[in-house]
Structure 1
Protein backbone atom coordinates (compact mmCIF):
# COMPACT_ATOMS: atom_id res chain seq x y z
CA UNK A 1 0.00 0.00 0.00
CA UNK A 2 1.25 3.47 -0.85
CA UNK A 3 2.58 5.46 2.08
CA UNK A 4 3.08 2.36 4.16
CA UNK A 5 6.01 1.90 6.52
CA UNK A 6 7.03 -1.68 7.29
CA UNK A 7 8.59 -2.58 10.62
CA UNK A 8 9.72 -5.75 12.35
CA UNK A 9 10.08 -6.79 15.94
CA UNK A 10 11.42 -9.85 17.68
CA UNK A 11 8.92 -11.93 19.63
CA UNK A 12 9.42 -15.14 21.57
CA UNK A 13 9.77 -17.75 18.83
CA UNK A 14 9.03 -15.52 15.84
CA UNK A 15 9.93 -12.38 13.94
CA UNK A 16 6.82 -10.23 13.47
CA UNK A 17 6.35 -7.90 10.52
CA UNK A 18 3.76 -5.13 10.67
CA UNK A 19 2.81 -2.15 8.53
CA UNK A 20 1.68 1.35 9.46
CA UNK A 21 -0.21 3.47 7.00
CA UNK A 22 -0.14 7.13 7.97
CA UNK A 23 1.77 8.65 10.87
CA UNK A 24 1.09 7.02 14.23
CA UNK A 25 -1.10 9.37 16.28
CA UNK A 26 -2.26 8.82 19.84
CA UNK A 27 -5.88 7.70 19.99
CA UNK A 28 -6.28 7.38 16.23
CA UNK A 29 -4.89 3.91 15.42
CA UNK A 30 -7.04 1.25 13.78
CA UNK A 31 -5.41 -2.19 13.89
CA UNK A 32 -6.79 -4.64 11.30
CA UNK A 33 -6.15 -8.21 12.39
CA UNK A 34 -6.63 -11.57 10.68
CA UNK A 35 -5.40 -15.10 11.20
CA UNK A 36 -4.05 -16.87 9.30
CA UNK A 37 -4.74 -14.10 6.76
CA UNK A 38 -1.84 -11.70 6.45
CA UNK A 39 -1.72 -7.93 5.99
CA UNK A 40 -2.37 -8.10 2.24
CA UNK A 41 -5.96 -9.16 2.86
CA UNK A 42 -6.83 -5.77 4.36
CA UNK A 43 -5.69 -3.57 1.46
CA UNK A 44 -9.20 -2.68 0.34
CA UNK A 45 -10.60 -2.14 3.84
CA UNK A 46 -7.64 0.05 4.80
CA UNK A 47 -8.28 2.26 1.77
CA UNK A 48 -11.59 3.33 3.35
CA UNK A 49 -9.84 4.68 6.47
CA UNK A 50 -7.35 7.18 5.07
CA UNK A 51 -8.26 9.57 7.88
CA UNK A 52 -6.81 7.20 10.47
CA UNK A 53 -3.53 5.45 11.12
CA UNK A 54 -4.11 1.89 9.90
CA UNK A 55 -1.89 -0.92 11.17
CA UNK A 56 -1.80 -4.41 9.69
CA UNK A 57 0.47 -7.36 10.37
CA UNK A 58 1.40 -10.88 9.32
CA UNK A 59 0.64 -13.36 12.14
CA UNK A 60 3.49 -15.61 13.25
CA UNK A 61 4.18 -18.41 10.84
CA UNK A 62 2.61 -16.51 7.91
CA UNK A 63 4.24 -14.62 5.02
CA UNK A 64 6.77 -12.12 6.41
CA UNK A 65 6.54 -13.29 10.05
CA UNK A 66 8.49 -16.56 10.20
CA UNK A 67 8.59 -18.72 13.28
CA UNK A 68 12.08 -19.06 14.68
CA UNK A 69 11.35 -21.90 17.11
CA UNK A 70 10.34 -24.57 14.59
CA UNK A 71 6.98 -25.20 16.31
CA UNK A 72 4.32 -26.89 14.19
CA UNK A 73 1.34 -25.26 15.92
CA UNK A 74 0.63 -21.86 17.42
CA UNK A 75 -1.53 -21.25 20.46
CA UNK A 76 -4.09 -18.48 20.76
CA UNK A 77 -2.12 -17.17 23.73
CA UNK A 78 0.98 -16.77 21.55
CA UNK A 79 -1.01 -14.85 18.93
CA UNK A 80 -2.52 -12.65 21.64
CA UNK A 81 0.93 -11.87 23.03
CA UNK A 82 2.10 -10.95 19.53
CA UNK A 83 -0.81 -8.53 19.08
CA UNK A 84 -0.02 -6.92 22.39
CA UNK A 85 3.63 -6.55 21.48
CA UNK A 86 2.79 -4.83 18.19
CA UNK A 87 0.38 -2.43 19.92
CA UNK A 88 2.94 -1.58 22.60
CA UNK A 89 5.59 -0.99 19.93
CA UNK A 90 3.34 1.64 18.32
CA UNK A 91 3.50 3.73 21.50
CA UNK A 92 0.14 5.34 20.74
CA UNK A 93 -1.91 4.23 23.72
CA UNK A 94 -5.08 2.14 23.39
CA UNK A 95 -6.06 1.33 19.81
CA UNK A 96 -9.23 0.30 18.03
CA UNK A 97 -9.11 -3.23 16.61
CA UNK A 98 -11.11 -4.86 13.84
CA UNK A 99 -10.36 -8.57 13.97
CA UNK A 100 -11.58 -11.19 11.53
CA UNK A 101 -11.98 -14.96 11.87
CA UNK A 102 -9.05 -16.49 13.75
CA UNK A 103 -7.81 -12.97 14.33
CA UNK A 104 -11.04 -12.30 16.25
CA UNK A 105 -10.33 -15.25 18.57
CA UNK A 106 -6.79 -13.99 19.13
CA UNK A 107 -7.98 -10.44 19.79
CA UNK A 108 -10.52 -11.64 22.34
CA UNK A 109 -7.69 -13.44 24.11
CA UNK A 110 -5.67 -10.21 24.07
CA UNK A 111 -8.51 -8.24 25.64
CA UNK A 112 -8.91 -10.90 28.34
CA UNK A 113 -5.31 -10.32 29.36
CA UNK A 114 -4.57 -6.71 28.42
CA UNK A 115 -7.75 -4.75 27.95
CA UNK A 116 -5.84 -1.55 28.59
CA UNK A 117 -4.30 -1.88 25.12
CA UNK A 118 -7.60 -1.90 23.21
CA UNK A 119 -10.26 0.81 23.26
CA UNK A 120 -12.85 -0.92 21.05
CA UNK A 121 -12.63 -4.43 19.63
CA UNK A 122 -14.90 -5.44 16.77
CA UNK A 123 -14.57 -9.23 16.64
CA UNK A 124 -16.01 -10.46 13.35
CA UNK A 125 -17.04 -14.14 13.26
CA UNK A 126 -14.61 -15.70 15.78
CA UNK A 127 -14.72 -19.46 14.99
CA UNK A 128 -14.53 -20.95 18.46
CA UNK A 129 -16.29 -24.31 18.70
CA UNK A 130 -16.39 -24.09 22.49
CA UNK A 131 -19.51 -21.91 22.55
CA UNK A 132 -21.87 -23.45 19.98
CA UNK A 133 -24.66 -25.86 21.02
CA UNK A 134 -23.07 -28.67 18.98
CA UNK A 135 -19.74 -28.08 20.74
CA UNK A 136 -18.49 -31.68 20.98
CA UNK A 137 -19.37 -32.42 17.36
CA UNK A 138 -17.70 -29.23 16.07
CA UNK A 139 -14.54 -29.89 18.06
CA UNK A 140 -14.41 -33.37 16.52
CA UNK A 141 -15.04 -31.98 13.04
CA UNK A 142 -12.21 -29.46 13.37
CA UNK A 143 -9.85 -32.09 14.79
CA UNK A 144 -10.70 -34.29 11.81
CA UNK A 145 -9.75 -31.53 9.35
CA UNK A 146 -6.38 -31.17 11.07
CA UNK A 147 -5.83 -34.95 11.11
CA UNK A 148 -6.81 -35.19 7.44
CA UNK A 149 -4.22 -32.54 6.60
CA UNK A 150 -1.45 -34.37 8.44
CA UNK A 151 -2.43 -37.68 6.86
CA UNK A 152 -3.48 -36.75 3.31
CA UNK A 153 -2.26 -33.24 2.62
CA UNK A 154 -3.77 -29.94 1.51
CA UNK A 155 -6.43 -30.93 -1.02
CA UNK A 156 -8.52 -33.38 1.02
CA UNK A 157 -8.26 -31.26 4.19
CA UNK A 158 -9.16 -28.00 2.47
CA UNK A 159 -12.12 -29.66 0.76
CA UNK A 160 -13.42 -30.65 4.18
CA UNK A 161 -12.73 -27.19 5.53
CA UNK A 162 -14.70 -25.48 2.76
CA UNK A 163 -17.60 -27.89 3.15
CA UNK A 164 -17.66 -27.35 6.92
CA UNK A 165 -17.40 -23.56 6.92
CA UNK A 166 -20.07 -23.10 4.25
CA UNK A 167 -22.59 -25.46 5.83
CA UNK A 168 -25.68 -23.94 7.43
CA UNK A 169 -26.93 -25.09 10.81
CA UNK A 170 -25.64 -27.40 13.55
CA UNK A 171 -23.73 -30.55 12.65
CA UNK A 172 -25.36 -33.89 13.42
CA UNK A 173 -23.69 -36.49 15.62
CA UNK A 174 -23.57 -38.71 12.51
CA UNK A 175 -21.39 -36.27 10.55
CA UNK A 176 -18.57 -38.82 10.15
CA UNK A 177 -20.91 -41.10 8.17
CA UNK A 178 -21.53 -38.46 5.51
CA UNK A 179 -19.77 -38.62 2.10
CA UNK A 180 -16.29 -37.06 2.08
CA UNK A 181 -16.03 -34.03 -0.23
CA UNK A 182 -13.67 -34.37 -3.17
CA UNK A 183 -10.83 -31.87 -3.62
CA UNK A 184 -11.55 -31.85 -7.36
CA UNK A 185 -15.02 -30.43 -6.68
CA UNK A 186 -13.36 -27.28 -5.35
CA UNK A 187 -10.52 -27.09 -7.86
CA UNK A 188 -8.04 -28.26 -5.24
CA UNK A 189 -5.04 -30.54 -5.80
CA UNK A 190 -5.82 -34.23 -5.58
CA UNK A 191 -2.19 -35.29 -5.13
CA UNK A 192 -0.29 -34.86 -1.87
CA UNK A 193 2.88 -32.82 -2.43
CA UNK A 194 4.21 -33.78 1.00
CA UNK A 195 4.24 -30.29 2.45
CA UNK A 196 2.73 -29.71 5.88
CA UNK A 197 3.31 -25.99 6.38
CA UNK A 198 -0.17 -24.60 5.76
CA UNK A 199 -0.88 -22.08 8.55
CA UNK A 200 -4.64 -22.61 8.53
CA UNK A 201 -4.88 -26.39 8.45
CA UNK A 202 -1.70 -27.20 10.32
CA UNK A 203 -0.60 -24.35 12.53
CA UNK A 204 -3.83 -22.77 13.79
CA UNK A 205 -6.78 -25.11 13.25
CA UNK A 206 -6.97 -26.93 16.57
CA UNK A 207 -5.96 -24.10 18.88
CA UNK A 208 -8.18 -21.46 17.28
CA UNK A 209 -11.37 -23.51 17.14
CA UNK A 210 -10.67 -25.09 20.53
CA UNK A 211 -10.14 -21.82 22.41
CA UNK A 212 -12.59 -21.16 25.25
CA UNK A 213 -13.07 -17.42 25.84
CA UNK A 214 -12.91 -16.13 29.42
CA UNK A 215 -16.22 -14.28 29.50
CA UNK A 216 -15.76 -12.96 33.01
CA UNK A 217 -12.46 -11.36 31.98
CA UNK A 218 -13.98 -9.94 28.81
CA UNK A 219 -16.88 -8.39 30.71
CA UNK A 220 -14.47 -6.94 33.28
CA UNK A 221 -12.10 -5.44 30.71
CA UNK A 222 -12.13 -1.71 30.06
CA UNK A 223 -12.37 -2.51 26.35
CA UNK A 224 -15.71 -2.11 24.59
CA UNK A 225 -16.17 -5.51 22.90
CA UNK A 226 -18.45 -5.69 19.86
CA UNK A 227 -19.20 -9.09 18.31
CA UNK A 228 -20.15 -9.08 14.63
CA UNK A 229 -21.21 -11.49 11.89
CA UNK A 230 -21.97 -11.20 8.19
CA UNK A 231 -25.57 -11.01 7.00
CA UNK A 232 -24.98 -13.79 4.48
CA UNK A 233 -23.19 -15.97 7.05
CA UNK A 234 -26.24 -16.73 9.16
CA UNK A 235 -26.25 -20.37 10.20
CA UNK A 236 -22.59 -20.98 9.31
CA UNK A 237 -20.15 -22.16 11.96
CA UNK A 238 -18.25 -18.89 12.50
CA UNK A 239 -21.45 -16.84 12.55
CA UNK A 240 -23.10 -19.27 14.97
CA UNK A 241 -20.05 -18.93 17.21
CA UNK A 242 -20.24 -15.13 17.00
CA UNK A 243 -23.90 -15.22 18.02
CA UNK A 244 -23.09 -17.45 20.99
CA UNK A 245 -20.19 -15.24 22.12
CA UNK A 246 -22.42 -12.15 22.00
CA UNK A 247 -25.08 -13.94 24.01
CA UNK A 248 -22.56 -15.00 26.65
CA UNK A 249 -21.29 -11.43 26.90
CA UNK A 250 -24.82 -10.09 27.17
CA UNK A 251 -24.39 -7.83 24.15
CA UNK A 252 -26.22 -7.47 20.87
CA UNK A 253 -24.69 -9.08 17.79
CA UNK A 254 -23.87 -6.46 15.14
CA UNK A 255 -24.72 -7.63 11.63
CA UNK A 256 -22.29 -6.52 8.92
CA UNK A 257 -22.92 -6.60 5.17
CA UNK A 258 -21.90 -9.63 3.10
CA UNK A 259 -20.18 -12.75 4.41
CA UNK A 260 -17.17 -14.03 6.38
CA UNK A 261 -14.81 -12.13 4.06
CA UNK A 262 -17.15 -9.23 3.46
CA UNK A 263 -14.33 -6.66 3.61
CA UNK A 264 -12.43 -8.25 0.72
CA UNK A 265 -12.23 -6.33 -2.54
CA UNK A 266 -10.58 -8.92 -4.76
CA UNK A 267 -7.78 -10.00 -2.46
CA UNK A 268 -7.15 -13.71 -2.98
CA UNK A 269 -9.72 -13.60 -5.82
CA UNK A 270 -12.56 -13.09 -3.35
CA UNK A 271 -15.10 -10.28 -3.25
CA UNK A 272 -17.36 -9.11 -0.49
CA UNK A 273 -19.03 -5.73 -0.15
CA UNK A 274 -16.10 -3.64 1.09
CA UNK A 275 -17.66 -0.19 0.81
CA UNK A 276 -20.81 -0.87 2.90
CA UNK A 277 -18.72 -3.10 5.16
CA UNK A 278 -16.33 -0.21 5.83
CA UNK A 279 -19.25 2.16 6.46
CA UNK A 280 -20.69 -0.25 9.02
CA UNK A 281 -17.30 -0.63 10.69
CA UNK A 282 -16.81 3.13 10.85
CA UNK A 283 -20.27 3.62 12.34
CA UNK A 284 -19.64 0.88 14.89
CA UNK A 285 -16.31 2.38 15.93
CA UNK A 286 -17.65 5.94 16.06
CA UNK A 287 -20.64 4.85 18.12
CA UNK A 288 -18.39 3.39 20.77
CA UNK A 289 -15.58 5.96 20.81
Structure 2
Protein backbone atom coordinates (compact mmCIF):
# COMPACT_ATOMS: atom_id res chain seq x y z
CA UNK A 1 0.00 0.00 0.00
CA UNK A 2 1.40 3.38 -1.03
CA UNK A 3 2.30 5.72 1.82
CA UNK A 4 2.28 9.52 1.97
CA UNK A 5 6.05 9.42 1.55
CA UNK A 6 5.66 7.30 -1.58
CA UNK A 7 3.19 9.81 -3.03
CA UNK A 8 5.50 12.73 -2.25
CA UNK A 9 8.44 10.93 -3.85
CA UNK A 10 6.39 10.20 -6.98
CA UNK A 11 5.47 13.89 -7.32
CA UNK A 12 9.09 14.99 -6.90
CA UNK A 13 10.21 12.49 -9.51
CA UNK A 14 7.54 13.70 -11.92
CA UNK A 15 8.78 17.27 -11.48
CA UNK A 16 12.36 16.18 -12.06
CA UNK A 17 11.54 14.31 -15.27
CA UNK A 18 9.54 17.26 -16.65
CA UNK A 19 12.31 19.72 -15.78
CA UNK A 20 15.08 17.69 -17.39
CA UNK A 21 13.09 17.21 -20.60
CA UNK A 22 12.11 20.88 -20.78
CA UNK A 23 15.73 21.97 -20.39
CA UNK A 24 16.88 19.43 -22.98
CA UNK A 25 14.27 20.66 -25.46
CA UNK A 26 14.54 24.42 -24.90
CA UNK A 27 18.00 25.38 -23.61
CA UNK A 28 20.19 25.80 -26.67
CA UNK A 29 23.96 25.98 -26.04
CA UNK A 30 23.90 29.24 -28.02
CA UNK A 31 21.64 30.97 -25.47
CA UNK A 32 23.15 33.67 -23.27
CA UNK A 33 20.33 35.07 -21.09
CA UNK A 34 18.03 32.69 -19.17
CA UNK A 35 15.21 33.45 -16.75
CA UNK A 36 14.75 31.20 -13.72
CA UNK A 37 11.39 31.20 -11.96
CA UNK A 38 10.30 30.25 -8.47
CA UNK A 39 8.82 27.22 -6.76
CA UNK A 40 9.56 23.57 -6.09
CA UNK A 41 9.75 22.52 -9.76
CA UNK A 42 12.41 25.10 -10.53
CA UNK A 43 14.77 23.31 -8.14
CA UNK A 44 14.89 20.53 -10.72
CA UNK A 45 15.25 22.99 -13.61
CA UNK A 46 18.40 24.39 -12.04
CA UNK A 47 19.65 20.85 -11.36
CA UNK A 48 19.13 20.00 -15.04
CA UNK A 49 21.04 23.10 -16.12
CA UNK A 50 23.83 22.36 -13.63
CA UNK A 51 24.24 18.88 -15.09
CA UNK A 52 25.33 20.38 -18.40
CA UNK A 53 28.97 20.93 -19.26
CA UNK A 54 30.52 24.08 -17.73
CA UNK A 55 31.70 24.90 -21.26
CA UNK A 56 28.02 25.53 -22.04
CA UNK A 57 26.73 27.14 -18.84
CA UNK A 58 29.77 29.37 -18.24
CA UNK A 59 28.73 31.49 -21.22
CA UNK A 60 25.21 31.97 -19.82
CA UNK A 61 23.74 34.48 -17.37
CA UNK A 62 20.74 33.59 -15.22
CA UNK A 63 18.06 36.03 -14.05
CA UNK A 64 15.95 35.12 -10.96
CA UNK A 65 12.33 35.96 -10.16
CA UNK A 66 12.88 36.17 -6.41
CA UNK A 67 15.03 35.31 -3.43
CA UNK A 68 14.53 31.54 -3.81
CA UNK A 69 15.67 31.36 -7.44
CA UNK A 70 18.51 33.77 -6.68
CA UNK A 71 19.81 31.33 -4.05
CA UNK A 72 19.39 28.35 -6.42
CA UNK A 73 21.44 30.09 -9.12
CA UNK A 74 24.20 31.07 -6.70
CA UNK A 75 24.33 27.66 -5.02
CA UNK A 76 24.69 26.00 -8.43
CA UNK A 77 27.67 28.20 -9.25
CA UNK A 78 25.90 29.81 -12.21
CA UNK A 79 26.35 33.45 -13.21
CA UNK A 80 23.68 35.61 -11.57
CA UNK A 81 22.29 38.92 -12.81
CA UNK A 82 19.08 40.85 -12.20
CA UNK A 83 16.47 41.65 -14.79
CA UNK A 84 17.06 45.41 -14.46
CA UNK A 85 20.62 44.75 -15.69
CA UNK A 86 19.50 43.07 -18.91
CA UNK A 87 21.06 45.21 -21.68
CA UNK A 88 18.63 47.58 -23.44
CA UNK A 89 16.99 46.01 -26.46
CA UNK A 90 17.98 42.49 -25.36
CA UNK A 91 15.47 39.77 -24.46
CA UNK A 92 15.99 36.66 -22.40
CA UNK A 93 16.43 33.71 -24.74
CA UNK A 94 14.17 31.55 -22.58
CA UNK A 95 12.54 31.57 -19.15
CA UNK A 96 11.73 28.41 -17.18
CA UNK A 97 9.09 28.62 -14.46
CA UNK A 98 6.36 26.60 -12.79
CA UNK A 99 2.63 27.15 -12.37
CA UNK A 100 -0.14 26.44 -9.90
CA UNK A 101 -2.58 25.54 -12.67
CA UNK A 102 -2.56 25.38 -16.49
CA UNK A 103 -5.71 25.41 -18.65
CA UNK A 104 -6.31 24.12 -22.17
CA UNK A 105 -5.23 27.44 -23.74
CA UNK A 106 -1.99 27.60 -21.71
CA UNK A 107 -3.35 30.30 -19.43
CA UNK A 108 -1.81 30.01 -15.99
CA UNK A 109 -2.49 30.73 -12.36
CA UNK A 110 0.77 31.61 -10.63
CA UNK A 111 1.60 33.21 -7.32
CA UNK A 112 1.13 30.45 -4.78
CA UNK A 113 4.64 31.28 -3.63
CA UNK A 114 3.96 35.06 -3.71
CA UNK A 115 6.52 35.83 -6.45
CA UNK A 116 4.00 36.55 -9.20
CA UNK A 117 5.00 40.14 -10.06
CA UNK A 118 8.68 39.37 -10.58
CA UNK A 119 7.73 36.12 -12.33
CA UNK A 120 5.61 38.05 -14.82
CA UNK A 121 8.34 40.64 -15.41
CA UNK A 122 10.90 37.94 -16.19
CA UNK A 123 8.52 35.80 -18.28
CA UNK A 124 7.43 38.76 -20.40
CA UNK A 125 11.08 39.72 -20.98
CA UNK A 126 11.77 36.35 -22.62
CA UNK A 127 11.52 35.33 -26.26
CA UNK A 128 9.87 32.16 -25.00
CA UNK A 129 8.54 31.05 -21.65
CA UNK A 130 8.52 27.32 -20.85
CA UNK A 131 6.33 26.07 -18.01
CA UNK A 132 7.37 23.02 -15.98
CA UNK A 133 4.95 21.30 -13.60
CA UNK A 134 3.56 17.98 -12.41
CA UNK A 135 0.34 16.22 -13.36
CA UNK A 136 -1.66 17.85 -10.54
CA UNK A 137 -1.46 21.23 -12.29
CA UNK A 138 -3.37 20.19 -15.42
CA UNK A 139 -6.80 21.86 -15.56
CA UNK A 140 -9.44 20.33 -17.79
CA UNK A 141 -12.31 22.43 -16.45
CA UNK A 142 -10.86 25.95 -16.44
CA UNK A 143 -8.55 27.79 -14.07
CA UNK A 144 -9.80 27.43 -10.53
CA UNK A 145 -10.87 23.81 -11.01
CA UNK A 146 -7.71 22.25 -9.57
CA UNK A 147 -6.20 25.27 -7.79
CA UNK A 148 -8.81 26.00 -5.13
CA UNK A 149 -7.00 28.79 -3.27
CA UNK A 150 -7.97 31.55 -5.68
CA UNK A 151 -6.25 34.01 -7.99
CA UNK A 152 -3.25 35.60 -6.22
CA UNK A 153 -3.29 39.40 -6.42
CA UNK A 154 -0.39 41.56 -5.24
CA UNK A 155 -1.72 44.72 -3.60
CA UNK A 156 -0.58 47.86 -1.84
CA UNK A 157 -1.30 47.22 1.87
CA UNK A 158 -3.23 50.47 2.35
CA UNK A 159 -5.52 49.53 -0.55
CA UNK A 160 -6.26 45.97 0.58
CA UNK A 161 -9.70 46.67 2.15
CA UNK A 162 -10.91 48.50 -0.96
CA UNK A 163 -9.54 45.76 -3.21
CA UNK A 164 -11.50 43.16 -1.21
CA UNK A 165 -14.68 45.22 -1.71
CA UNK A 166 -14.10 45.42 -5.47
CA UNK A 167 -13.45 41.70 -5.71
CA UNK A 168 -16.78 41.00 -4.02
CA UNK A 169 -18.51 43.22 -6.59
CA UNK A 170 -16.86 41.24 -9.40
CA UNK A 171 -18.36 38.05 -8.05
CA UNK A 172 -15.53 36.60 -6.00
CA UNK A 173 -16.86 33.72 -3.92
CA UNK A 174 -14.22 34.46 -1.33
CA UNK A 175 -11.30 36.85 -1.06
CA UNK A 176 -8.88 37.30 1.79
CA UNK A 177 -5.47 38.68 2.63
CA UNK A 178 -2.98 35.83 2.67
CA UNK A 179 -1.56 35.06 6.10
CA UNK A 180 2.17 34.95 6.71
CA UNK A 181 1.75 32.06 9.13
CA UNK A 182 3.28 29.77 10.20
CA UNK A 183 6.55 31.60 9.62
CA UNK A 184 5.34 35.15 10.20
CA UNK A 185 2.48 36.74 12.11
CA UNK A 186 0.29 39.07 10.08
CA UNK A 187 0.00 39.29 6.30
CA UNK A 188 2.21 37.52 3.79
CA UNK A 189 4.69 40.13 2.56
CA UNK A 190 6.15 39.76 -0.92
CA UNK A 191 9.73 40.46 -2.02
CA UNK A 192 8.35 43.85 -3.12
CA UNK A 193 7.00 44.73 0.34
CA UNK A 194 3.37 44.29 -0.75
CA UNK A 195 0.56 41.96 0.35
CA UNK A 196 -1.14 39.05 -1.42
CA UNK A 197 -4.91 38.77 -1.68
CA UNK A 198 -6.27 35.39 -2.81
CA UNK A 199 -9.61 35.68 -4.63
CA UNK A 200 -11.72 32.61 -5.40
CA UNK A 201 -13.93 32.81 -8.49
CA UNK A 202 -16.00 30.25 -10.33
CA UNK A 203 -13.80 28.28 -12.78
CA UNK A 204 -12.61 30.61 -15.53
CA UNK A 205 -13.40 30.05 -19.19
CA UNK A 206 -10.42 29.80 -21.55
CA UNK A 207 -12.45 31.71 -24.15
CA UNK A 208 -15.96 33.09 -24.54
CA UNK A 209 -18.62 31.49 -26.67
CA UNK A 210 -20.63 33.63 -29.10
CA UNK A 211 -23.18 35.76 -27.28
CA UNK A 212 -21.56 35.18 -23.88
CA UNK A 213 -21.65 38.10 -21.45
CA UNK A 214 -18.41 38.21 -19.47
CA UNK A 215 -18.94 38.29 -15.73
CA UNK A 216 -22.61 37.29 -15.82
CA UNK A 217 -23.54 35.30 -12.70
CA UNK A 218 -19.90 35.59 -11.59
CA UNK A 219 -18.52 33.55 -14.51
CA UNK A 220 -15.55 35.12 -16.29
CA UNK A 221 -13.18 34.39 -19.11
CA UNK A 222 -9.52 34.51 -18.14
CA UNK A 223 -8.88 37.60 -20.27
CA UNK A 224 -12.04 39.35 -19.08
CA UNK A 225 -11.35 38.87 -15.38
CA UNK A 226 -7.68 39.75 -15.78
CA UNK A 227 -8.62 43.05 -17.42
CA UNK A 228 -10.94 43.93 -14.53
CA UNK A 229 -8.51 42.90 -11.78
CA UNK A 230 -5.47 44.80 -13.04
CA UNK A 231 -7.54 48.01 -13.25
CA UNK A 232 -8.52 47.99 -9.56
CA UNK A 233 -6.68 50.89 -7.85
CA UNK A 234 -4.07 49.50 -5.47
CA UNK A 235 -3.50 46.29 -7.44
CA UNK A 236 0.15 45.99 -8.49
CA UNK A 237 -0.05 42.70 -10.42
CA UNK A 238 -2.22 39.59 -10.75
CA UNK A 239 -1.44 35.89 -10.86
CA UNK A 240 -3.22 35.27 -14.16
CA UNK A 241 -0.73 34.77 -17.00
CA UNK A 242 -2.75 35.19 -20.17
CA UNK A 243 -2.86 36.80 -23.62
CA UNK A 244 -0.20 35.77 -26.15
CA UNK A 245 2.81 33.45 -26.13
CA UNK A 246 6.26 34.11 -27.51
CA UNK A 247 5.24 32.36 -30.73
CA UNK A 248 2.50 34.97 -31.25
CA UNK A 249 4.20 38.24 -30.28
CA UNK A 250 7.79 39.45 -30.47
CA UNK A 251 7.89 40.73 -26.88
CA UNK A 252 5.78 40.99 -23.77
CA UNK A 253 4.36 37.45 -23.81
CA UNK A 254 2.92 36.08 -20.57
CA UNK A 255 1.80 32.63 -21.70
CA UNK A 256 4.24 29.75 -22.21
CA UNK A 257 5.04 28.33 -25.64
CA UNK A 258 4.84 24.89 -24.02
CA UNK A 259 4.04 23.30 -20.67
CA UNK A 260 5.86 20.14 -19.54
CA UNK A 261 4.04 17.88 -17.09
CA UNK A 262 5.63 15.00 -15.24
CA UNK A 263 2.97 12.28 -15.06
CA UNK A 264 2.27 9.74 -12.34
CA UNK A 265 3.32 6.86 -14.61
CA UNK A 266 6.82 8.29 -15.10
CA UNK A 267 6.12 9.77 -18.53
CA UNK A 268 6.28 13.44 -19.53
CA UNK A 269 3.46 15.07 -21.47
CA UNK A 270 3.93 18.32 -23.37
CA UNK A 271 1.13 20.79 -23.97
CA UNK A 272 1.22 23.32 -26.80
CA UNK A 273 -1.46 25.41 -28.46
CA UNK A 274 -0.90 23.59 -31.73
CA UNK A 275 -1.13 19.99 -30.49
CA UNK A 276 -2.78 20.21 -27.08
CA UNK A 277 -1.56 17.81 -24.39
CA UNK A 278 0.41 14.89 -25.83
* TM-score calculated relative to the size of structure 1: 0.35
The answer to which structure, 1 or 2, has the higher relative contact order (CA under 8 A, 6+ apart) is: 2
| Structure with greater helix percent | 1
* TM-score calculated relative to the size of structure 2: 0.36
